[in-house]
């Protein structure tokens, strides 16, 4: 097997028994890095310290991650003007926090016969939040509910740039 030292230096090709003795003399652990290589590659390191460093890196990565939640705001097709404005303010607040927002219109009874009212209401919500939000998913009816998903505008711009890079 090929043995690599603690600082990355090549210690040469040796048998498993010899590699274990070298690692034991240095008070280090022998870890197989590349099993499929010919000959297999092993590295000498302090495994406890290595594992600690890995968990520390994972914790740092989690700190910098931004978790975006999908929040839902529900409306009825016959919502009043003031109530609509109050819901629009709460959607605005959620978007400013960086969350995705799913705006849902719930139909009861015979209200389902007028899906155009729900669509107009959802489009009005999108227009009200114009520069703050971008429509990720257009109004779509699912059973007795019609919903539309809004993204914060900054997140939408970043998503579009990422998609452009792929093309």
Consecutive 10-residue averages of pLDDT for the chain (167 residues): 88 90 90 88 90 91 78 92 93 88 93 91 89 88 92 75 75
> Can you tell me the distance from the alpha carbon of 126 to that of 133, in angstroms, rounded to the nearest whole number?
7
Q: Tell me which architecture the domain covering 2-63 has in CATH.
A: Roll (3.10)
- Strand duo 2-4 + 41-45: pairing: parallel
pLDDT of residue 156: 65
Whole-model pTM: value is: 0.56
DSSP output for 72-99: EEEE-TT--HHHHHHHHHHHHHHHHTT-
Alpha carbons 26 and 6: distance in angstroms, whole number: 10
Q: How high is the pLDDT of residue 80? A: 92
71's CB contacts (< 8 A; 6+ apart) are 94, 99, 100, 101, 102
Q: Which of 132, 123, 146, 27 is nearest to 75 (CA)?
A: 146
Instruction: Report domain 70-166's class.
Output: alpha beta
pLDDT of 89: 93
Q: Domains of the chain: which residue ranges? A: 2-63, 70-166
Q: Which residues of 8-22 are buried (b: 16+ CB within 10 A; e: fewer)?
A: eeebeebeeeebeeb
């Amino acid at each position: 097997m090929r043995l690599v030292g603690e600082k990355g230096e090549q210690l040469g090709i040796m048998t498993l028994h010899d590699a274990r003795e070298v690692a034991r003399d240095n008070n280090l652990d022998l870890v197989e890095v590349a099993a499929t290589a010919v000959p297999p590659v092993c590295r000498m390191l302090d495994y406890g310290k290595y594992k600690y460093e890995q968990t520390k890196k994972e914790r740092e990565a989690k700190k910098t991650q931004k978790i975006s939640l999908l929040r839902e705001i529900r409306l009825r097709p016959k919502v009043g003007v003031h109530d609509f404005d109050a819901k629009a303010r709460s959607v605005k607040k959620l978007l400013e926090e960086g969350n995705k927002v799913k705006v849902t219109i719930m139909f009861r009874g015979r209200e389902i016969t007028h899906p155009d009212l729900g669509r107009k209401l959802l489009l009005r919500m999108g227009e009200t939040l114009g520069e703050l939000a971008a429509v990720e998913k257009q109004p779509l009816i699912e059973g007795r509910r019609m919903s539309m998903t809004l993204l914060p505008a900054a997140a939408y711009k970043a998503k579009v740039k990422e998609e452009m890079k792929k093309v």
